[in-house]
Amino acid sequence: MTLGIIGAMVEEITPLLERFGDYETKQVGGNNYYEIKKGKHRIYVAYSKIGKVHAALTASTMILHFGCEKIIFSGVAGGLSTDLKVGDLVLGTKLCQYDVDITAFGHPLGFIPESKVFIESDSALNAVASDIAKAQGIKLKQGIIASGDAFIADSAKKQWIITHFGADAVEMEGAAVAVVCDLLKVPFCILRSISDSADGSADVSFDEFLESSAKRSADFVIMMCEQILK
């Protein structure tokens, strides 16, 4: 099995590399991919850099260049649902792009021709995550994650995303990974830990809780890897 794990920032993959230990660094397209050998298995870890374009490039490279058979995204997100607080984990069962808008042509928000508004993540990987959460007594909310190329720190924009997409969390990469994996028929899972509430105080909360929330997501992904590769 060859498994790919993506984070958007250094802080999101540092806990993974620290836990995995030995790795080799390979460079493709100006980005580093860290190869971890686990017996007959391979794990590739990379931080894509922020945004949908970088996330799509990284996911594509992992699949087409390194042959990754499953992709997991680990990182932080802004909470939209009222029952989410900082540190809570969210599993994206559906991903959408809130900043895609061709409604002028009669299409719904988030829709791209020959595609769809919502892309569903892999049920088998989600089941692994759900089983681990139950076994460990960890709260894991499953729901919709909305992605777009903006950091949401405005209450009105937050409510707009909730109203139009019913999203539980918002971030900047997940839906791009979903599009790539869906088109290339590779199972994927998007796991996020809440770092802020995507409102007027989001910038302060994000800086304060980025590392702790990223570590919480990474720790959970490590458990997923152990389960998938055993």
In tens, the pLDDT along 181-197 reads 999 999 999 999 998 77
The CATH number of the domain holding residue 74 is 3.40.50.1580
Query: For residue 9, what pLDDT is reported?
Result: 92
Q: What would the DSSP string read from start to end of 66-131? A: T--SEEEEEEEEEE-STT--TT-EEEEEEEEETT---GGGTPPTT--TTS-S-EE--HHHHHHHHH
Task: Say which of 122, 168, 182, 196 is annotated catalytic.
Answer: 196
Instruction: List Cβ neighbours of 135 (8 Å cut-off, separation of 6 or more).
Output: none
Kindly report the pTM of this predicted structure: 0.93
- Average pLDDT of the chain? 93
> Annotated catalytic, 120?
no
Indicate which residue of 12, 88, 122, 173 is catalytic. Answer: 12
In the predicted model, what is the mean pLDDT of residues 163-167? 97
Q: Work out the percent of the chain whose per-residue pLDDT is above 70.
A: 96
Structural domain range at position 74 = 2-229
Active site residue 196: yes
Domain count of the fold of the chain:
1
